[in-house]
Amino acid sequence: MSKSGRCFAGVVAALLTAPVAAHHSYVEFDQQNTIEIEGTLVAAAWQNPHTRLTVAGADGVRWDIESSAVNGLRRAGAPLELFEVGSKVKVAGWPSTKTASRLFGTNILSAGGQELILFRAPPRWGGGAIGLERQALSASAGSAGSAGAARTIFRTWGSAYARPGIPDDPDASPSSLFRVPLPLTEAARQAAAGFDEVKYNLSLGCAPKNMPFVMVVPGPTDFVDRGDSILFRSEEFDAVRTIHMNSRESPSAQPKTRLGYSVGRWEGDTLVVETGSVDAEYLFPGVPLGPSASFVERFTPSADGSRLHYSIVMTDPYSLTQPVEQKRSWIAIDEHVMPYNCTLPKRSTTD
């Protein structure tokens, strides 16, 4: 699990032979095995990108517990005040495969018997658990035939995840952007073969993901119309892409940045964006980003306004033998992009 705690809800996929680790990677933890611990909460940092807790067991073992970002917990109405430092708690979660006494927490139970779902898991200690819902769907997102929604990109969009009783939406989960295998060059294959996804995640700080991996975005996003430009805002790491709408500049001829230089135009209701000049190590984690990589994206709202369809054509002669198109979508949500205020691990403690 990364020090940065990059909020990305476990998107890890294999593209051809190349491993791809999400910034919010869970590769350290055994997701097929849930264990339960009980003890005193001696440290708590409810923060983005990951919550960090320490629980001291009666046997003297101190458990280091990592879990999901506080923004999602707040959206779920989590009563964090019930989990005071010094109180008794139970925690369930996935044990680390690398470090003893370390968990990724999925459920926590307060001394008073209130259960909070920290991550996508079913209630463990009876009914009445809080945290199953992390975002409010727009009324227009409830059915394909909903009427009255504006057909526009200028609203807030979210991803759809599996949760107890509800299957994953195969189109609107972040991992859907990995559906097409990447045709890797020999240079990219060799680089991918030596990629250490655990070490990679440990090296990350609070910087936003680079283009195009930033478009995996598990959390809320929105678009803001500034006239000469459109801002694409991702709540995760407070990332902001500027799309220049009246620029005649070549995207590939601009100073390089992690998000590159983007030029946009309208084709009917579709926003078309061309991006170049991206300065980053990876196209996706494990797959190198070549110096002349470029991208063409299309954002198209559905007829009923409930979904935003997205496609990206990636061209990178260094790593890809041919251009590749990937697709995903977002669903309309009645939320706002909240400040993220990424914080590297720091805790309040009784010690």
Mean pLDDT, residues 249-271: 96
The long-range contacts involving 11-14, CB below 8 angstroms and separated by at least 24 positions, are 11/173, 11/174, 11/175, 11/178, 11/216, 11/218, 12/197, 13/175, 13/178
Q: Give the pLDDT score at 166.
A: 63
Residue for token digits 């990937």?
A: 326
CA atoms within 13 A on the CB side of 37: 26
Give the model confidence (pLDDT) of 133-176 as tens digits: 766 666 555 443 344 467 999 999 998 865 556 666 778 888 88
Give the model confidence (pLDDT) of 5-23 as tens digits: 333 223 233 333 333 334 4
CA distance 223 to 244: 13
pLDDT at 191 over 50: yes
Percent residues over pLDDT 90 in the chain: 65
Give the model confidence (pLDDT) of 311-345 as tens digits: 999 999 999 999 999 999 999 999 999 999 998 76
pLDDT band at 1 (very low <50, low <70, confident <90, very high): very low
Pairing of strands 12-15, 287-288: unpaired
Residues 6+ apart with CB under 8 A from 32: none
Q: Indicate the average pLDDT of the chain.
A: 85
Q: Give the pLDDT score at 117.
A: 93
The answer to whether residues 12 and 22 touch, using CB atoms and an 8 Å cutoff, is yes
This model's pTM is above 0.75: yes
